[in-house]
């Protein structure tokens, strides 16, 4: 039996009720998305069962909305958060025309994709240590000419762009190791720990990115990293220690904090 649910009719009430009973806050919206994604009733039942069991909606339907784009998401890969849209808005305003752009710790490649759509990007590179994330990012970035590599931070990038990066964006893991267990189950159980765990104080990966950035940024190039409000003072001190001039950007609307560090030079 085919699933039919017109926008006017809304999603099946039984699906909404089942999701609501499972604790889904936006049960009606999720029911609509699942109904639209399912090809038949059996598939819908399977999808609803997975969602009721706690799997991220984005992993079930295979995509996430980010900056108005539909970004492919695969099981186990970090789901792009709405708060990170604030980082993209900051990066888009700062990225010069034709710039070399790099998305480190790229996950699905959502940030690189969104920035390439929002700004005049000359070359786009992305990298992640997780092979599943790299495969997913390639699905999102191949069509726009983005180059995705597997590897540890700057070690995954081609040597030819050293000293040429105009905008470097990095949504590094910044949850302190001791707080990972406090994350919502959707993240804690269904996303790679290496995409979440930032070490004892949550700043281990940030330190490594900031330390390496001056050798890879073009003169006057900029590094943008998302962090928490609590970690921002320590993060800014790390930027200063490595010769990057930091500016704090925060958004109450997005509940987001971003550090923007500018490399020396003009």
DSSP 110-155: HHHHHHHHHS-EEEEEEEES-HHHHHHHHHHHGGGT-EEEESSGGG
Whether 232 has a pLDDT exceeding 60, the answer reads yes
Whether 213 has a pLDDT exceeding 90, the answer reads yes
Confidence of residue 24 (pLDDT cuts 50, 70, 90): confident
The pLDDT of residue 58 is: 93
The pLDDT of residue 9 is: 57
3-class SS at 46?
helix
Confidence of residue 5 (pLDDT cuts 50, 70, 90): very low
The pLDDT of residue 73 is: 95
The arithmetic mean of pLDDT across residues 33-54, rounded, is 87
User: In Å, how far are 60, 226, 250 from 244, measured between CA atoms?
Assistant: 41, 16, 18
Q: Classify each residue of 222-258 as buried b or exposed e, where b means 16 or more C-beta atoms within 10 Å of its C-beta.
A: bbbbbbbeebbeebbebbeebebebeebeeeebebbb
Determine the Cα angle at 254 with ends 10 and 105, to 5°: 100
The pLDDT of residue 28 is: 87
The pLDDT of residue 266 is: 60
Residues 6 or more apart whose CB falls under 8 angstroms from that of 25 comprise none
Residues 146, 140: Cα–Cα separation, whole Å? 9
Full-model pTM: 0.89
Residues 6 or more apart whose CB falls under 8 angstroms from that of 177 comprise 197, 198, 199, 200
The pLDDT of residue 31 is: 87
β-partners of residue 72 are 63
The total of other beta-carbon atoms located within 10 Å of residue 138's CB is 18
The pLDDT of residue 14 is: 85
The pLDDT of residue 64 is: 94
- Sequence-ordered alpha helix ranges (H) in the chain: 13-21, 27-37, 41-52, 57-61, 85-94, 110-118, 131-141, 185-190, 204-216, 232-241
The pLDDT of residue 37 is: 87
- Average pLDDT across the chain, whole number: 92
The pLDDT of residue 10 is: 66
The arithmetic mean of pLDDT across residues 114-118, rounded, is 97
Confidence of residue 21 (pLDDT cuts 50, 70, 90): confident
Q: Pick the range with the lowest mean pLDDT from 15-19, 222-226, 232-236, 238-242.
A: 15-19
Tokens of 202: 């949550």
Q: What is the pLDDT of residues 144-194, one digit of tens each?
A: 999 999 999 999 999 999 999 999 999 999 999 999 999 988 899 998 999
Residues 242, 22: Cα–Cα separation, whole Å? 48
Residues 64, 73: Cα–Cα separation, whole Å? 6
């Amino acid at each position: 039996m085919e699933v039919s649910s017109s926008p006017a009719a809304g999603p099946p009430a039984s699906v909404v009720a089942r999701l609501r009973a499972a604790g889904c806050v936006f049960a009606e919206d999720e029911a609509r998305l699942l109904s639209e994604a399912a090809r038949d009733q059996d598939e819908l039942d399977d999808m609803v069962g997975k969602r009721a069991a706690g799997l991220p909606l984005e992993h079930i339907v295979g995509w996430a909305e980010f900056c108005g784009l539909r970004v492919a998401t695969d099981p186990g890969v970090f789901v792009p958060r709405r708060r990170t849209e604030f980082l993209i808005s900051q990066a888009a305003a700062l990225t010069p025309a034709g710039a070399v752009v790099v998305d480190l710790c790229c996950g699905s490649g959502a940030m690189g994709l969104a920035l390439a759509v929002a700004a005049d990007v000359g070359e786009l590179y992305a990298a992640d240590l997780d092979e599943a994330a790299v495969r997913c990012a390639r699905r999102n970035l191949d069509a726009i000419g983005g180059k995705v590599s597997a590897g540890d931070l700057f070690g995954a990038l081609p040597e030819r762009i050293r000293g040429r990066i105009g905008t470097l964006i990095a949504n590094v893991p910044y949850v302190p190791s001791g707080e990972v267990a406090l994350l919502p189950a959707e993240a804690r159980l269904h996303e790679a720990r290496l995409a979440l765990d930032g070490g004892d104080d949550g700043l281990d990966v940030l330190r490594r990115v900031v330390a390496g950035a001056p050798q890879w940024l073009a003169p006057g190039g900029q590094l943008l990293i998302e962090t928490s409000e609590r970690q921002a003072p320590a993060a800014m001190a790390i930027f200063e220690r490595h010769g990057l001039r930091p500016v704090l950007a925060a958004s109450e609307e997005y509940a987001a904090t971003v550090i923007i560090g500018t490399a020396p030079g003009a």
